[in-house]
Chain A
Amino acid sequence: MPPFAAVNIRELIRPIGQLLLFSLGSASVLSALVLVLALILDQTAVGLHLHDRYNVSLATYTLVNLPQVVIDGLTIGFVYAAIALGYTMVYGVLEFINFAHSEIFAVGAFVGVELLIALDHTGLLRSASLGMAYAYLTLALLMGMAAAGALAVTVERVAYRPLLGAARLVPLISAIGVSFLLQDVIRLVEGLTTGQFNRIMPTFGNFDRRIMLGRLALGDTTVPLGISVKSIIVITAAVLMLAGLNYLVNATRMGKAIRAVAQDRATASLMGINVNRIISLTFLIGGLLGGAAGVLYALKFTRIDPFVGFFPGLKAFTAAVLGGIGNLTGALLGGIVLGMLETFAGSFLGVFTMGAAGSEYKDIFAFSILILVLVFRPQGLMGRHVGQKA
């Protein structure tokens, strides 16, 4: 293959195809599961309890709610997937879990949101046309990415590289230390500059608008089905990032170098690859993705604080392990599956247990699946096949 071959179309389309497949697959599996459960429980006390309050049968209730649950599950799943890629990239190359990634995500969110708040104070946001609103959002995304990317590279240089030869546990502890340090640095900086560290994404553009796809009849009322513009932005941006990363790793020279370092650091170095540079690059890519995910997260969920990274980070890490850590495609699958599971559990748990265990227990559900997967398939759903390893 000539070194500057034309764009490798296959590598561009493949991840999008995979995403579609994973989304449809997990959506239909979970939907089927929930529907079967609903049909079984319909004639029992559970069905009667629901009928008493909502005036519909359990099966109808479940069916009518399904489309919205799938949309919500996908949105959060893509956010998890984008963060999970950062964990998986670093694990693939260094075989170590970068626990500071959740704070790198948080820093991205803060930089993006602070920029937008500053723009809001100048009055630019309120008067912005639709095009300009998107331009500002893109700017915030880029700034969040740049800050998070730079931070990730710095953290690697300062806290991990000196420990490259040390036992596996040492950089892990260092990563946890960096994670706590960064949380408090954000707290300190926000406390000193703005006096409060509870930041709120300004409202502008048409991001909050909801595109209605229709209304589904449910007993006496109708249930609206729709997707907000910001969810579409989140999904689109995540798909673009995932496809871009996949292309970079699997179809470019740089990606080849990354894969070589992942397979065998010493040999790669003998082949003339600058291993330290490639490791920095891995962190830079992970940081860029994490930063973008942070800004998208803030856009979707409005409010951020210095500990905002903790739960999404933990879930994304889980997603990476679920899919098979070190495996890019696995991170996508893990993210989507986890997001779906969580949303399905959260939406239907309350109804199926007659309110005894509500959506607050959604995480138990998601994490028990993780335990089951790890027990029966320790390498994760996709495993760690080396050709894919980033």
Chain B
Amino acid sequence: MPKTTLSLCSLLAAAGMTLILSLHAVAAEPVKSIKIASQSPLSGDQSAVGVDIKRGAELALEQVGKPLADMGFKVELAPFDDQANPDTGVANAKRIVSDPAILAVVAHFNSGVHIPSSEVYHSSGLANVSPGTTNPKVTTRGYAEVNRVVGRDDVQGVVGADFAASRGVKSVFIIHDKTAYGQGIAEFFKKRAEEKGMKVLGFEGTEEKANFDALLSPVIAGNPGLVYFGGIYPQGAVLFRQARERGYQGMFMSDDGFDSSDAAKIAGQALLDGAGTYYSTVSGPASVYAGAAKFIQDFKAKYNADPQPFAAQGYDAMAICLKAIEQAAKAKKGEVPTRAEVTQAIRAIKDFAGITGTFSFNEIGDPTMAQYFVLNVKSADPAHWNENSVVETLNLAPPK
């Protein structure tokens, strides 16, 4: 049918014209597209924290991405969900490094995920700044690409043990979740507790999530002054609750993995009974940071919820990536920098004023000075988790 052929031809011609026109437009006004990836648990047990890390990064991109936009860059956030699972994190990392537009990564929340994933980043020289991984191994491998804006477990375990000793705790039962993070922190706690003369009644790892009855038998029998849990709240809070149900009246202590309002939702009043519940953290509630008042306001306005812990660190990690890309681009007179240049630029940053502190990185990517807090749970109501009071604040350098 000639008529159809004709209309088909004209359609093709029109399409071709449009294509040429659009190509022309691109050539006339080049948009230099850059992506910054994020990886955190957006689904699963730890999604409450993981989602807010992503939101913190998103907010930073909006608020401090302007210098790059002025230089003609279009910066996008590419969020990935690592599900707090090493396998997923590594698979995502492979997808991330294969996208040439991605120049930096804000990742991860879990040390157990960050360590294997950063091997992938390292193999292609992609810089990553972590908002919350605290295992020493994250940085001690000495990779140029790996940085973090928070302190380390080997210090956090010591902070916890020192605090317990200062409260007159004589005996402790230590339980951990067998992950690189939880076990690591528990071991540092144990070492320091023994040095401080505390009696360690037991040191047990468990993957149990529901039934702690058997594990609690030796705990209850020993009636220690403190039960310490190295791990994350979905396990820790259930453990603490069941210990109280069985009549334990001593003190509970955990680490920054415990810092989520869901812990109060699970354990409720059990956290306040007896000698109460404390946790050490490398990330205080956003309200303890002098610079974060505006962040909390903006966060609430945008997402209609209080920021979870580590959201402000997500903001800072993103801001550092943006700053480094900006400086690398300036050094190249506005051209898109390479991954290697961004990696160097991050380490070159000196005294960057973030909302959770002032950051410079040492030769392995630890901040030269990090803050550590000990908090006391104040309310059984999850809505009031942010009101947990800081009982101790310490500024400590990473160990040599």
| Chain A residues engaging chain B, CB cutoff 8 angstroms | 53-54, 61, 64-65, 68-69, 72, 75-76, 187, 191, 196-198, 200, 203, 208, 210, 212, 218, 221, 223-224, 226, 228, 297, 300-303, 305, 308, 342-348, 350-351, 355, 358-360, 362
Q: Which residue of A lies closest to B382 (CB)?
A: A200
From the candidates B48, B205, B218, B262, name the one contacting A351 in the complex (CB within 8 A). Answer: B218
A residues in contact with B222, CB < 8 Å: 53-54, 221
A residues in contact with B45, CB < 8 Å: 198, 305
How many A-B residue pairs lie within 8 Å, measured between CB atoms? Answer: 108
| Chain B residues engaging chain A, CB cutoff 8 angstroms | 43-45, 47-48, 178, 199, 201-211, 213-215, 217-218, 220-223, 234, 238, 241, 245-247, 262, 265-266, 268-269
The 5 closest A-B CB pairs, nearest first, are A346-B214, A301-B210, A347-B217, A224-B247, A72-B213
B residues in contact with A212, CB < 8 Å: 247
Can you name 18 A-B residue pairings with CB atoms under 8 Å? Answer: A53-B199, A53-B222, A54-B201, A54-B222, A72-B213, A191-B43, A197-B44, A198-B44, A203-B268, A210-B245, A300-B210, A301-B238, A305-B45, A346-B213, A351-B218, A358-B202, A359-B214, A360-B206
Cβ B214 vs Cβ A200 within 8 A: no
Cβ A302 vs Cβ B214 within 8 A: no
From the candidates B204, B205, B209, B214, name the one contacting A72 in the complex (CB within 8 A). Answer: B214
Given contacts A53-B222, A302-B241, contact A359 B206 (CB under 8 A): yes
Cβ A360 vs Cβ B204 within 8 A: yes
Cβ A68 vs Cβ B262 within 8 A: no
Task: Classify the secondary structure of A's interface with B.
Answer: helix
A residues in contact with B262, CB < 8 Å: 198, 200
B residues in contact with A308, CB < 8 Å: 210
A residues in contact with B208, CB < 8 Å: 360
Cβ A346 vs Cβ B215 within 8 A: yes
B residues in contact with A196, CB < 8 Å: 47-48
Q: Which residue of B lies closest to A210 (CB)?
A: B245
CB distance from A214 to the nearest CB of B (A): 11
Cβ A358 vs Cβ B199 within 8 A: no
How far is it, in angstroms, between the C-alpha of A91 and the C-alpha of B84 when the chains are bound?
37
From the candidates B43, B204, B215, B238, name the one contacting A302 in the complex (CB within 8 A). Answer: B238
Q: Which residue of B lies closest to A230 (CB)?
A: B245
Cβ A208 vs Cβ B245 within 8 A: yes
B residues in contact with A68, CB < 8 Å: 217, 220
From the candidates B47, B206, B220, B268, name the one contacting A223 in the complex (CB within 8 A). Answer: B220
How far is it, in angstroms, between the C-alpha of A180 and the C-alpha of B86 when the chains are bound?
21
How far is it, in angstroms, between the C-alpha of A68 and the C-alpha of B248 when the chains are bound?
14
CB distance from A366 to the nearest CB of B (A): 11
From the candidates B47, B204, B221, B234, name the one contacting A359 in the complex (CB within 8 A). Answer: B204
How far is it, in angstroms, between the C-alpha of A69 and the C-alpha of B246 when the chains are bound?
12
Cβ A65 vs Cβ B247 within 8 A: no
Given contacts A76-B211, A197-B44, contact A65 B204 (CB under 8 A): no
CB distance from B9 to the nearest CB of A (A): 47
Residue with the highest number of chain A CB atoms closer than 10 Å, among B199, B222, B238: B222
B residues in contact with A360, CB < 8 Å: 178, 204-208
How far is it, in angstroms, between the C-alpha of A64 and the C-alpha of B222 when the chains are bound?
12
B residues in contact with A54, CB < 8 Å: 201, 221-222
Given contacts A350-B202, A360-B178, contact A303 B217 (CB under 8 A): no
How far is it, in angstroms, between the C-alpha of A297 and the C-alpha of B221 when the chains are bound?
25
How far is it, in angstroms, between the C-alpha of A54 and the C-alpha of B222 when the chains are bound?
6
Q: Which residue of A lies closest to B173 (CB)?
A: A53
Q: Which residue of A lies closest to B199 (CB)?
A: A53
How far is it, in angstroms, between the C-alpha of A212 and the C-alpha of B245 when the chains are bound?
11
Cβ B238 vs Cβ A218 within 8 A: no
A residues in contact with B217, CB < 8 Å: 65, 68-69, 72, 346-348
B residues in contact with A218, CB < 8 Å: 221
CB distance from A41 to the nearest CB of B (A): 15
CB distance from B150 to the nearest CB of A (A): 24
CB distance from B45 to the nearest CB of A (A): 5
Given contacts A358-B204, A359-B204, A360-B206, contact A61 B221 (CB under 8 A): yes
Cβ B214 vs Cβ A347 within 8 A: yes
B residues in contact with A351, CB < 8 Å: 218
Given contacts A196-B48, A200-B266, A347-B214, contact A53 B245 (CB under 8 A): no
B residues in contact with A53, CB < 8 Å: 199, 201-202, 222
B residues in contact with A300, CB < 8 Å: 210-211
How far is it, in angstroms, between the C-alpha of A212 and the C-alpha of B268 when the chains are bound?
21
Given contacts A200-B265, A224-B220, A301-B238, contact A358 B213 (CB under 8 A): no
B residues in contact with A228, CB < 8 Å: 245
Cβ B247 vs Cβ A210 within 8 A: yes
A residues in contact with B241, CB < 8 Å: 302
